[in-house]
Homo-oligomer: A and B are copies of this chain.
Amino acid sequence: MNSQAPLFNRLALIGVGLIGSSIARAARAQGTVREIVATARTAETRRRVAELGLADQVVESNAAAVAGADLVIVCIPIGACGTVAAEIGPHLSPGAIVSDVGSVKGAVLREMAPHLPAGVHFVPAHPVAGTENSGPDAGFASLFVGRWCILTPPAGADATAVDKLAVFWRALGANVETMPAAHHDLVLAITSHLPHLIAYTIVGTADELADVTQSEVLKFSAGGFRDFTRIAASDPTMWRDVFLANKDAVLEMLGTFNEDLSQLTRAIRRGDGEALFAHFTRTRAIRRGIVQIGQDSAAPDFGRTHADLPAEPLPRPYAAADE
């Protein structure tokens, strides 16, 4: 708990899923806001947010949530951002900072900016952090620690507002970087969107095979497949919106990926062991880079825990012959 004066008087959270509820928990733990007002689309989520005590007030409308807030963070699937911006626009306080957490920034800028009044500071943001779980129960205060939060302020954005939002995210443990929305969307297409698309594809492929049963796919998934299923278990609404909103960059990365896959396929078909070995050696080095800069654990197998060895005695008939 931080004993400093809070950065903001009132944080309005629109949407309290994995990311929204993690922001609420972290902002409260760090004392970065004096008060949190939250709302969510469904009555069920609003009820749960109240039960969990994630906000000081849970209100029923987006308009009510933003009234009097000096920081508004929209934490909903990208496809709904434009509609929400239109709803909150007339109710925003002058000088308020409006931000979001969407995984695509060009679309968010295009859809939200036209609805926000002059005198409000719009600073889109994307914390590159998450898990495969969704909903208000899935969040936790340390989700953003050591992860990057990318700010994509539009041209002419107020530098003080951008700085203040950066300080907010740093207080939640994140590193902050600023870049143009278009570049963000290209970078995330390869580091996040394409990996998700590929994982969704291969898990679907395994599900529909005729010669391999689903039970076999599950049982023998420790050979690599299970790593893909974690990503392919991410929120379907959120990811549908990401692919629709970042179509061009994703299709561009897919083109390059397909060329590379064709090349490796050709090496397999021709039995070109040298080409395979050279490729596999290069990719090993990238893993080391990620571990070195602290973006993943050096523990093998993601640090998965392993159960203890069994204690049951061996069946008698098989004991070794005495010497």
Measured CB to CB, the residues of A under 8 A from B are 2-9, 26, 29-30, 32-34, 70, 79, 103, 128-133, 138, 140-143, 145-148, 150, 163-164, 167, 170-173, 177, 183, 186-188, 190-209, 211-212, 214, 216-234, 236-237, 239-241, 243-244, 247, 250-251, 253-254, 256-258, 260-261, 264-265, 268-269, 271, 273, 276-277, 279-284, 286-290, 293, 295-297, 300-311, 313-316, 318-321, 323
Task: Please indicate the chain B residues that have their CB under 8 angstroms from the CB of A79 in the complex.
Answer: 273
The verdict on A265 contacting B254 (CB below 8 Å), with A230-B296, A231-B224, A306-B145 known, is: yes
Tell me whether A204 and B304 are in contact (CB under 8 A): no
The verdict on A6 contacting B222 (CB below 8 Å), with A260-B205, A303-B303 known, is: no
A232 to B282, CA, bound (A): 9
Q: Which of B217, B241, B288, B290 contacts A190 (CB 8 A)?
A: B217
Q: List 15 A-B contacts (CB under 8 A).
A: A2-B313, A9-B323, A32-B314, A143-B306, A146-B306, A187-B212, A190-B206, A191-B212, A191-B216, A194-B202, A201-B257, A206-B286, A219-B295, A236-B276, A243-B268
Overall SS of chain A's interface: helix
Copies assembled: 2
Tell me whether A164 and B318 are in contact (CB under 8 A): yes
Tell me whether A192 and B131 are in contact (CB under 8 A): no
Task: Please indicate the chain B residues that have their CB under 8 angstroms from the CB of A303 in the complex.
Answer: 302-305
Closest partner residue, chain B, to A239 (CB atom): B280
Tell me whether B204 and A167 are in contact (CB under 8 A): no
